[in-house]
Amino acid sequence: MKETRLLMGMPITIEMNDSAASKGLCDNVFDYFMYVDETFSTYKEESELSRINRGLIAPDAYSTGMKEIFALAAQTKAETFGYFDMRTPEGVVDPSGIVKGWAIKNAAHLLERAGCTNFYVEAGGDMQTRGMNSEGRAWRVGIKNPFNTKEIIKVLDLSGKGIATSGTYLRGRHIYDPHEKKPAEHGIVSLTVVADDVYEADRFATAAFAMGEKGIRFIETVPGCEGYMVNAEGVATVTRGFNKFVSEALEHVEHH
């Protein structure tokens, strides 16, 4: 069972290869993503985040989910030497760099609690995998060529792993270097991180991209994370353990 819907300004896909799969379960997961959008959207005037940015909600009145994101953002800032900062140079709070991965991880937990063991949840290119695909293999995930997004440059076999990519090729220079107080301009165009869960992959990919060329060396130091970086000259650099995920086959990619 596979379904894609446009939510949070991006396509979100759920595929379940499982006897527990049902339309109702699928609907529940998409309803959760709708809640995330209504709460954390920087584009919707009446989202909780937008009202926080307008000074309409005091910190003690934040929702449970919002308080969790603020705490996780502070933790991530500390763990990344300040390269992750959800407060923009204009003073606006924008936790997009961790909300998507956090939401995908929570959506995967919804499926697990319902008894699903073989599935993936993907939102805007970031993904959580569990179990096997319909052919009894790990989920095959493609990494796009940042210079030609119709081309796949790496195919990974993932099961029980999360993957996230930060880059300039889809949304332009949307990641800020908090230390320079401007968009990250360090000569890299994409950085993909594989971790045990997509939340870890998402937050560390965001921070590492803001670090520029040294970001891949930072990923090398993070336990449980592997990375694949492409610079502006098209040269790829990988962490030591990344190649264990690389598939020998280049066809039949479930997602990219």
Euclidean distance between CA atoms 143 and 151, whole angstroms: 9
pLDDT value, residue 183: 57
**pLDDT tens across 162-179, in order?**
999 998 754 444 455 555
Is residue 256 predicted with pLDDT exceeding 50?
A: no
Report the pLDDT averaged over residues 175-200: 77
**pLDDT tens across 87-141, in order?**
988 889 999 999 999 999 999 999 999 999 999 999 999 999 999 999 999 999 9
Rounded to two decimals, what is the model's pTM?
0.91
Tell me the backbone φ, ψ of residue 111, rounded to 5 degrees: -65, -40
pLDDT value, residue 194: 98
Is residue 185 predicted with pLDDT exceeding 60?
A: no
Report the pLDDT averaged over residues 156-163: 97
Asked if 48 and 54 touch (Cβ cutoff 8 Å), the reply is no
| Band of pLDDT at residue 34, cut at 50, 70 and 90 | very high
User: What mean pLDDT is reported for the chain?
Assistant: 91
pLDDT value, residue 186: 62
Could you give all domains of the chain from N- to C-terminal order, each with its CATH number?
A: 2-245 (3.10.520.10)
Q: Residues 67, 191, 77, CA angle at the centre, nearest 5°?
A: 30
Euclidean distance between CA atoms 205 and 125, whole angstroms: 13
CB atoms within 10 A of CB 140: 21
Is residue 180 predicted with pLDDT exceeding 80?
A: no
Report the pLDDT averaged over residues 144-166: 94
**pLDDT tens across 39-93, in order?**
999 999 999 999 999 999 999 999 999 999 999 999 999 999 999 999 988 889 9
Asked if 218 and 80 touch (Cβ cutoff 8 Å), the reply is yes
Report the pLDDT averaged over residues 5-27: 93
**pLDDT tens across 212-242, in order?**
999 999 999 999 999 999 999 999 999 999 9
